[in-house]
Amino acid sequence: MTVLIAIALTLVLAGGVAVVFSDDPQRQAVTLSVYGLLMTVLFFLLAAPDVALSQLGVGMVLVPLMVMLTIRKIRGHR
């Protein structure tokens, strides 16, 4: 069990690096969505099902959707 948590923590850290260092915001929205899924798995492994449910809806759907709509609006305006 502890090995699983260690693997999940490493994956989350790698996901964080990927999100921060991807410079194109459109690509970052998709990476953010995958990062949300990795966080959900980590929260589930840390015995926190409530928090995992919250993170699933918010981190995988709401925030990437709003980021993509913002990019589309800003690009369309320029």
Partner 1 sequence: MTIYAYCVAGALVLLGGIGIARSRNLVHAIVCLSIAQSGTYVLLLAIGYQKGALAPVFGSTSKPNNHVVDPVVQAMTLTDIVVSATITALLLAIAIQIGKQHGTVDPDELSSLEG
Partner 2 sequence: MSRALRFWVLGVGVACFGTILVLAFLAMPHFGTSHHPYRDLAVPASVAHGSANVISSVNFDQRGIDTLGEETILFGSVIAVAALLRPAENEEKKEDPGRRVPFQATRMFGYVLMPVTLIIGIDLVVHGQVTPGGGFQGGVVLATGLHLLYVAGQYRSMEKLRPMPLVEVSEAAGTAAFAALGFAGIGVTGAFLANILPFGSFGQLLSAGTVPLFNVGVGLAVASGCVVLLAKFFEQVFLVEKAGGDT
Nearest distance, CB of residue 59 and partner 1, angstroms: 7
**If binding is defined by CB under 8 A, does position 61 make contact with partner 2?**
yes
What SS3 state is found at 22?
A: coil
Question: What is the b/e burial string over 47-71, where b = at least 16 CB atoms within 10 angstroms of the residue's CB?
Answer: eeeeebeebbeebbeeebeebbeee
| Contact positions vs partner 1 (CB under 8 A) | 1-2, 5-6, 9-10, 12-13, 16-17, 19-21, 23, 25, 28-29, 32, 35, 39, 42-43, 46-51, 54-55, 58-59, 62-63, 66-67, 70-71, 73-74, 77-78
